[in-house]
Structure 1
Amino acid sequence: MNRAKTIKHSEFVLIGGGIMSATLAILLYEKFPGKKITVIEKLPKMAEESSEAWNNAGTGHAGNCELNYTPEKKGVIDTSKAVKTAEQFNETLQFWKDCAEKGYIHSLSKCISKVPHISFVEGKKDVAFLEKRHKLLKEISHYKEMIFSKDIDEIKKWIPLMMEGRDKKDPIAATYMEEGYDVNFGEIAEQIFRFLGRQEHVELVNHSNVYNLQKTKNKRWLLTIKGQNVGKHWNLVANYLFIGAGGGALSLLEKSKIKEARGYGGFPISGLWLRCTNPEIIDQHHAKVYGKAKKGAPPMSVPHMDTRMINGRKELLFGPYAGFTTKFLKHGSMFDLPKSVEFDNIMSLLGAGYHNLPLVGYLVKQVSLKFKDRMDMLREFYPDAQDDDWKLVVAGQRVQIIKKDKKGFGKLEFGTEIIVSKDKTIAALLGASPGASTSYSVMQKVIKKCF
């Protein structure tokens, strides 16, 4: 193959064209005016993978309705994750508003919509849990406007669609937060990149894949990149490197050979949605309603019935249903998982599998579900749901982090993790939810750790 010898230089190189890289690029643009910033994206357009509207729930995660953010152990509810997430989301929301004022985002109304956030449960045990949760959260400023109710008529005003055809003998409860948000993370990233693309010292490179990276003797990073055209290869030298490529970050992190990356592995989980196709049904629901996850289910599989605003159009989704694939990205390769297995992380992977057998069993069941099974799960939320009003669509791909525990075996981590090299020349982002909702806070950590 004829390899081009083109070598370019950039102060900062960001791999991945999603909301995280868009946020970091703006922060670097402001903090280091005139310094060269290069963003490399594998796909033809920016924000087409995890940030794209159909590939995530679009929830502005603030702990309003996500019951897995307030776990209960031995009768004690821990609210720390909910509070931390609320603080980080509000910081990020203010950042987006500031970006709009500065002209980085030209139309904030296309990106963010107000949608109530609701938690909904059935059964005496879960009703008692939700009531206890509400009493704790009401004492915290972020949640002082939260309303709790066990009254069927009141709940029906909040979610009329879900109350039709429901057995009134079953105890139910819900909490209601009017000040909730639906966020189109892909639109935010796209608008920020549109602004950056017009700046003299910023270069956006699409349809290009970083397939190797190595440290040079002068502590810079040499990236080998395959461009859009077959046979077109080029090199890029960077002083600082950020890997924010979603599920693709793990393989690049392994290639960096930094000590801090040892022992990390990834467990890919894909997602599916049921999308409503009946406009009359869509118009009857206006909320993001989260329930409780089934036992053994991963956090990303908490059932929710979501009002979405996508490309100016109101949509209604239910899910997500978990699936399994060996891809680390929706547009990835079936060899992503096998290629990620190395001597340093094989014990982590085996340990995580052994210690998470309920999760493995859950995924096996999810993969075998038929359309009827998925509709039956929807009817637990919306009893009168009709098959003809819904269709199955493929959602995004997530990679849950696997890292070594104190005994040297692996454990699954369900949050977002920042990995930074000792010399602070490379940083990588691993993990999933609440990721995009807290992008400003997360990228501020990267700035502080590296500079």
Structure 2
Amino acid sequence: MTTNSAHSTHVPDADVVLIGGGIMSATLGSMLALLEPQWRILMLEAAEDIAAESSDPWNNAGTGHSGYCELNYMPDPADGSKASSIAEQFHLCRQWWAHLVREGLLDPDEFIHSSAHMNLVFGTEDVAYLRSRVETLRVDPLFAEMEYTEDPETIAQWAPLTMEGRPHTGEPMAAARHPRGTDIDFGALTRALTAIITSAAGEVRTGHTVTGLERTREVWQVSGSSAVGHFSVGAKAVFVGAGGFALRLLQKAKVPEVRGYAVLPVGAAFYRCSTSAVTSRHRAKVYGQTDVGAPPMSVPHLDRRIVDGREHLLFGPYATFSTKMLKHGRLTDFFTTLRPNNLHVIAAAGLQNLSLVSFLIKELAARPSRKFAQLRRYFPLARRNEWTLLPAGQRAQLVKPDPRRIGVLQQGTELVVSADGSIAGLLGASPGASTAVPIMFDLLRRAFPAQWHGRWKNQIAEAVPDLDRSDWTTEAVDRSHTETDEALGLAEVSFG
């Protein structure tokens, strides 16, 4: 599927160059390969294999983000419901993947499995918050199946490991669940989507590090280095899906839309257990509440994972810090993104988030015993010899200019498209992978307007019936679940 760079320094001209071999580039490239199978699509990946960074299954939690269990996704009267927006987007992902399965282009057993999404919270304040969240969201058809309980026995039925051996302290606790959650191996999905690219007129070149992007007349000149020397390729259009490196490359390309933008690296580590006697007894992703000052991506969660057909449990994340922008990057990476026009933006965002700085310092200073005590908060009988602490992927948290606050730390992802549509990139972090499909639909619409309105939109609408839906009724949600469950081999998770 992927080809090593050693055999040639010459990269022929391409219709579209994809920089980065992760889920974003693979999603866009596979769409283009199906819409325009004669187009020359070239993926350039710096590592020796694709999906080696954030898309690797051990560099993320594998949660198919649907808004079910992410406690920071709550309806906001001023902005609408973030939870509903994420749920809608994930339905579009399911529909697109189901279409690819029906076409014989994906094997769902390789990348997606049913895994209930749950919450477990402690203390009067968080119990009240969870109760209010469920009551608020359950009136939305997208969340109608959510259940809530404060009964320890019911929680034990839903997630036995979380209650066994728990001291009877009288501390209030509550849980919520949605039975239609999923666990996703984004690495396996990336590889399967990349195979769609290479089965058409596309090509993947690993070991190719892009260092230059220059606009020459009607073509982008993409240049860099490989194991055997320098390469350069002309491209009609470029997508920068390079994770933490995306901002630096867009800066090199002098894309005005990112002027003043900055990124802050945030790392993580997870505990992993692969003992079958333990993993076979946990059928959910159980999310808790963050500590004060913690970033949303640091929400503690005990996850069921399926990777290469084997069950595992993952707990974390534990915040780490490095000036690397990628897990396999360099300590100088962060400093290469600094510009005179974004230094004050970063400084302002930092001053407004001193609680985050305090949280990171405490996390970095935490002893192993304290880290494991956090795991036992959700799994009281966890045995230390059955768990291994693993470094996860780096995330590049987006910092944007703001007219009132100078700079703000933005949650989520942002798609940047140049005015002429010839170059685009994705910045930010979670829940990007879980919303890759609608993000790339948006890119197709903005970067290729003539093709989108000419033919592409109708083709995609045939595969994704709810592409333009704004009214997610109970009937629409049920139909979407039924049709995609069948294609993807998913089923409601049973408890007790």
TM bin (shorter chain): over 0.9
1:385 aligns with 2:386: no
2:22 to 18, 24, 33: 18
Deviations 1:288-337 (A, max 9, x none): 00000100000110000000001100000100001110000011111101
Deviation at 1:103, TM superposition (A): 2.6
Give the distance between the partners of 1:78 and 1:376, measured in 2 at CA: 37
Aligned to 2:144: 144
| Residue pairs, 1:259-338, within 5 angstroms | 259-338=256-335
SS of alignment partner, residue 8 of structure 1: coil
Amino acid paired to 2:137: L
The secondary structure found in structure 1 opposite 2:29 is helix
What runs of 5+ residues in structure 2 fail to find an aligned partner?
A: 1-7, 449-496
Q: What is the distance in 2 between the residues matched to 1:304 and 1:93?
A: 23
Q: Secondary structure at the match of 2:125?
A: helix
- For residues 34-45 of structure 1, the aligned pairs below 5 Å read 34-45=38-49
Question: 2 CA distance for matches of 1:233 and 1:115?
Answer: 46
Higher mean C-alpha deviation, range 257-266 or range 274-283? 274-283
With normalisation by structure 1, the TM-score equals: 0.94
Aligned-residue offset at 1:119: 0.8
Aligned mate of 2:59, from 29, 32, 55: 55
8 Å Cα contact 1:277/1:391 also seen in 2: no
**Does the 8 Å contact 1:225/1:236 carry over to 2?**
no
Q: Distance in 2 between matches of 1:67 and 1:416?
A: 18
* Separation (CA, whole Å) in 2 of partners of 1:411 and 1:326: 20
* Structure 1 residue 268, shift from structure 2 partner: 0.3
Which residue in 2 is equivalent to 1:99?
Answer: 100
Match of 1:27 in 2: 31
**Is contact 1:323-1:367 (8 Å) kept?**
yes
Residue 189 of structure 2 aligns with which residue? 188
Letter paired with 1:140:
D
Which residue identity is paired with 2:438? S
Q: In 2, distance between residues paired with 1:408 and 1:151? A: 44
CA distance in 1, matches of 2:199, 2:36: 17
Decide whether the 8 Å contact of 2:21 with 2:43 is kept in 1. yes
Distance across 2 between alignment mates of 1:228 and 1:133: 53
Asked whether 1:412 is paired with 2:381, we answer no
Q: Which amino acid aligns with 1:327?
A: K
The residue number in structure 2 matching 1:123 is 123
The residue aligned with 2:467 is: none
Q: CA deviation at 1:31?
A: 2.5
188-197 or 202-211, larger mean C-alpha shift: 188-197
| 1:277 positional shift | 4.2
Aligned to 1:357: 354
**What is the CA–CA distance in structure 2 between the aligned matches of 1:125 and 1:409, rounded to whole Å?**
33
Q: Which amino acid aligns with 2:255?
A: I
Is contact 2:75-2:81 (8 Å) kept?
no
Q: For residue 64 of structure 2, give the secondary structure of its aligned residue in structure 1.
A: coil
After superposition, residues 208-223 of structure 1 pair within 5 angstroms as 208-216=208-216, 218-223=217-222
CA distance in 2, matches of 1:137, 1:64: 9
The 1-side partners of 2:118 and 2:314 are apart by 15
Mapped contact 2:57–2:187 kept (Cα < 8 A): yes
Q: 1:241 to 1:23 in 2, by over 3 A?
A: same
Name 1:446's counterpart in structure 2: 443
Percentage of matched positions with identical amino acids: 40
Task: Give the conservation status (yes or no) of the 8 Å contact 1:22–1:192.
Answer: yes
Count of residues paired in the alignment: 440
Distance 1:191 1:351, change over 3 A: same
SS in 1 for 2:283: coil
Shift of 1:77: 11
The 1:287/1:172 distance shift into structure 2, 3 A limit, reads same
CA distance in 2, matches of 1:349, 1:53: 30
Match for 1:396 among 389, 393, 398? 393
- More deviation, 376-385/262-271: 376-385
Letter in 1 for 2:218: K
Which runs of 4 or more aligned residues in structure 1 lie more than 6 Å from their structure 2 counterparts after TM superposition?
A: 76-79
Q: Write the deviation string for residues 237-266 of structure 1: whole angstroms up to 9, x where unpaired.
A: 011010011111111011011211100111
Aligned-partner residue type, residue 295 of structure 1: V
Specify the alignment match of 1:203 in structure 2: 203
Distance change in 2, residues 1:38/1:432 (3 Å): same
1:7 positional shift: 6.1
Is the partner of 1:212 in helix, strand or coil? strand
Alpha-carbon offset, residue 177 of structure 1: 0.9
For the residue of structure 1 that corresponds to 2:400, the secondary structure is strand
Tell me by how many angstroms 1:145 deviates.
Answer: 1.1
Q: Which secondary structure state, in structure 1, belongs to the residue aligned with residue 88 of structure 2?
A: helix
Cross-structure match for 2:162:
162
Q: Quick one: structure 1 residues 155 and 235, their matched pair in 2 at CA, closer, same or farther if it must change by over 3 Å?
A: same
CA contact (8 A) 1:16 1:245 kept: yes
CA contact (8 A) 2:274 2:311 kept: no
- Opposite residue 47 of structure 1, the aligned amino acid is A
Kept after mapping to 2: 8 A contact 1:69/1:79: no
Looking at structure 2, the residues matched to 96 and 357 of structure 1 have their Cα atoms a distance apart, in angstroms, of 41
Q: State how far apart, in whole Å, the 1-side matches of 2:278 and 2:187 are.
A: 26
Give the C-alpha shift of residue 409 in structure 1: 2.0
Q: Pick from 239, 242, 250 the counterpart of residue 236 of structure 2.
A: 239
2:41/2:197 contact within 8 Å kept: no
Paired residue for 1:108?
A: 108
